[in-house]
Structure 1
Amino acid sequence: MTTVKDVIKLFEKWVPITLAESWDNVGLQIGSKNQPVHKLMITLDVVEEVVDEAVEGGVDMIIAHHPLLFKGIKSIDFSSPKGRVIQKLIQHNISVYAAHTNLDVVEGGVNDWLAERLELQYTKVLVPTTEESLLKFVVYVPRTHVTEMLAALGEADAGHIGNYSHCSYRGEGTGAFKPLEGSDPFIGKEYKMEEVEESKVETIIKKSQLSQVLQAAQKAHPYEEMAYDLLPLANKGEKRGLGRIGTVKQPITLANYASLVKEQLQVPTLRYVGDPEQLIKKVAVLGGSGKGFIDAAKHAGADVYVTGDLTFHDAQDAEQAGFSLIDPGHHVEEVMKQGVKRFFSDHMEQLPNRIEIKASKLSTEPFRFI
């Protein structure tokens, strides 16, 4: 039976909580990791209407982008809006898990979905926050099992260098060992020195991959005790961070690009700053509230910066500096609903049992437009 723990384990292989900002509150917020999950719902926000939708649909677990519990609370008053939400969740045994800035930062997450919607290509991280540490993984394996080992390492996503996968290096040599009392050697006998023709297989891995790579290697290795080395590398790892910057498929005026943003993000209206006839080639985007990174977008060479929650003074300063902005609102982060649903649908076989995945049908946009 699939449990909350199983769902979290699968999700955090892709979106580890270590990617979240220090001020953020992500992870399991309400519920038990041992609770069975038959139905999982994805939502941007956990508000009362969404909880009612979950209750009606028999949902066991909710994954939200915006944390329900963000600021510290000193009491839970069931007559308050948040208190009623917490009460209903507990009464109906619904667990809540939040993935916020870690889902923004991760490759293939919120900002990549937004960049895809905005038809950007050759995208890069706009504001780097972390750089992946790299390790050299070296394993010694009998030559008879090299093929199995290489296949296992490749399936564990080891050996990525740029646009190349399954990268490795092999050296040949002789392994020596003496099985002691209580051992169960694949080759050799107790207290007798043994020499075996072995291959030294080297590959590069991300530090975050270490557990899965070790597990895959040990499964493919025939020996009772696998000999391996781990060496820290000075090589630069993949940069992760907030926002994305990329180029449009072909130059377009600011006015026309603003219309494209409105259509692609399915918003009823938006605001923009700048000369409508300005030619747009390079675009920066950051989901949610990105006003703190206007200068970063400008210095990165963007012709326009797409983000939400811009103030009058943000807009005025940008206009005076000759820099263009497009504000489609904060709620466009709801692209995460279909994105996360697609992730679980694509990786369902990694759960103990199949579960039903649904995206909330409700909009949690608080603004009304006329």
Structure 2
Amino acid sequence: MNAVPSARQVIALLEKFSPEHLAIEGDRVGLMLGTLDKPVKKTLVTLDVTEGVVDEAVQRGADMIISHHPLLFMPLTEIDTSTSKGRVIQQCLHHDLTVYTAHTNLDIAPGGINDWLAEAIGIQETAVVVPTKKDHLYKLVAFVPEEDTERIRRALGDAGAGHIGAYSHCTFNSEGTGTFIPGDETDPHIGNRGEMTFVAEKKVETVVSDSQLADVLQVLTDVHPYEEPAYDLYPLSLEGESFGLGRVGTLSSAMKLEAFSNHLKEVFKVDGLRVVGDLEKSVTNVAVIGGDASKYWPQALAAGADVLVTGDVKFHTAQDAEAAGLALVDPGHHIEAIMKAALAERLGADAQASNYNVEINASAHATEPFTFL
């Protein structure tokens, strides 16, 4: 029978692919309101936490709201319940709603918002536009009994060790003999207290990124038969995976800027958008950065983009980009709402795989403040 997870366990599923440490420094991510130490039967995924979204969460019987935009971005000096923000907080507390935010970490995460946007647009062979972090790599060398090698090797790979390019579960294995004398307070898996023990072991070498290191070491401790697993850990000079904002890649075929802009209207179901540049310009290389990211137009241009798709483009920024030869298309900040269904589907699948009895829904409440006339 599937168990009802805690809010902390649901967030652990989110953290596996969108960890908080990926967020840009100073960004407000994580727990906004409530507690993670409570059972969660229903979760609502939303772009923003507004009064309408909270009403929807209450009507659906949700225990937790996961948002992209932070409920509490700036420090509070007071909670005035005559204001919309105050009422949102009041209602969340009254109905025991936990509120958790994944903001720029979800923007940056592989398989997160910018990848969802790129896929929807039809951008192929993508790369990061604005690098923000590179993983440091370590070599993990574990010493394991021969009969346990395959089980431990598989567990380490499943936990994230051994990723080299498009390959996973990469290891190097060599044979040897382990020796030890169990102490008086031990309960040895092999051997007897006070006696020299010789064990046929294998040395399993693999690579681990710092973002996966804690999980991998915990798995090694959990699955290793020894009370005190023996392992070495070495920092490497090799660079790990690069993380960052936005994605840039190519369309399957070139389009005129006007046709591309109309394509975006259909993809994101918007009634209007703003375009900067010659509508007859041919567009092949496309960059997309969700949210308010027009300030990164130089990086998009340097990455070879013909056009940058982003929201909240400012007047002088548009002039500068146009003068440099980069087209801009602004379909609005709200296109990030693509994360509602995508994240609900991802978390729902992961919860099912973990045998969690939890319902995860995308909010049906629109938080777009603009109307096109």
Same fold (TM over 0.5): yes
1:262 aligns with 2:262: no
Pairwise mapping of residues 292-331 of structure 1 onto structure 2 (< 5 A)?
292-331=295-334
Pairwise mapping of residues 202-351 of structure 1 onto structure 2 (< 5 A)?
202-349=205-352
- Listed one character per residue, the Cα deviations across residues 312-365 of structure 1 (whole Å, up to 9, x for unaligned) are 222222222222111110000001101210121111146574111111101100
Candidates 103, 106, 115, aligned match of 1:103: 106
CA distance in 2, matches of 1:319, 1:12: 39
- Listed one character per residue, the Cα deviations across residues 273-323 of structure 1 (whole Å, up to 9, x for unaligned) are 112222111111100001110111111110111101012222222222222
Candidates 25, 33, 39, aligned match of 2:36: 33
Contact 2:23–2:105, Cα closer than 8 Å, also in 1: yes
- Shift in CA distance, 93/137, structure 1 to aligned 2, threshold 3 Å: same
- The count of corresponding residues between Structure 1 and Structure 2 is 370
CA distance in 2, matches of 1:317, 1:323: 9
CA distance in 2, matches of 1:182, 1:319: 73
CA distance in 1, matches of 2:361, 2:45: 6
Letter in 1 for 2:235: P
Contact 1:10–1:350, Cα closer than 8 Å, also in 2: no
Q: What TM-score, normalized to structure 2?
A: 0.96
- Listed one character per residue, the Cα deviations across residues 171-210 of structure 1 (whole Å, up to 9, x for unaligned) are 1111111112122222211111111221111000111212
Letter in 1 for 2:262: S
Which stretches in structure 2 are left out of the alignment for 5+ residues?
none
Candidates 343, 349, 361, aligned match of 1:358: 361
| 349-358 vs 114-123, greater mean Cα deviation | 349-358
CA distance in 2, matches of 1:257, 1:212: 43
1:181 aligns with 2:184: yes
SS of structure 2 residue aligned to 1:238: strand
State the superposition RMSD in angstroms: 1.4
- Listed one character per residue, the Cα deviations across residues 95-135 of structure 1 (whole Å, up to 9, x for unaligned) are 11111111101111110100101111110110000101111
Letter in 1 for 2:111: G
- Listed one character per residue, the Cα deviations across residues 227-254 of structure 1 (whole Å, up to 9, x for unaligned) are 0011111111111111111111112221
Candidates 77, 80, 94, aligned match of 1:77: 80
Aligned to 1:194: 197
SS of structure 2 residue aligned to 1:235: strand
CA distance in 2, matches of 1:59, 1:124: 37
Letter in 1 for 2:17: W
| 78-87 vs 268-277, greater mean Cα deviation | 268-277
CA distance in 2, matches of 1:68, 1:305: 28
Letter in 2 for 1:355: V
Which stretches in structure 1 are left out of the alignment for 5+ residues?
none
Aligned to 2:127: 124
CA distance in 2, matches of 1:202, 1:209: 16
Contact 1:245–1:283, Cα closer than 8 Å, also in 2: yes
Contact 1:254–1:276, Cα closer than 8 Å, also in 2: yes
SS of structure 2 residue aligned to 1:249: strand
1:135 aligns with 2:157: no
Candidates 13, 18, 30, aligned match of 2:21: 18
CA distance in 2, matches of 1:353, 1:319: 51
CA distance in 2, matches of 1:151, 1:32: 34
Aligned to 2:67: 64
Q: What TM-score, normalized to structure 1?
A: 0.97
SS of structure 1 residue aligned to 2:208: strand
Percent identity reads: 49
Q: Structure 1 segments of 4 or more deviating over 3 A?
A: 349-353
CA distance in 1, matches of 2:223, 2:79: 51
CA distance in 2, matches of 1:194, 1:22: 50
CA distance in 2, matches of 1:360, 1:328: 21
Letter in 2 for 1:157: G
Aligned to 2:170: 167
Letter in 2 for 1:210: L
- Listed one character per residue, the Cα deviations across residues 10-62 of structure 1 (whole Å, up to 9, x for unaligned) are 22222111111122111111112222211100000011111111111111110
Contact 1:76–1:83, Cα closer than 8 Å, also in 2: yes
| 352-361 vs 193-202, greater mean Cα deviation | 352-361
Letter in 2 for 1:117: A
Letter in 1 for 2:199: V
Contact 1:2–1:352, Cα closer than 8 Å, also in 2: no
CA distance in 2, matches of 1:229, 1:321: 52
CA distance in 1, matches of 2:286, 2:23: 24
Contact 2:13–2:351, Cα closer than 8 Å, also in 1: no
Letter in 2 for 1:278: K
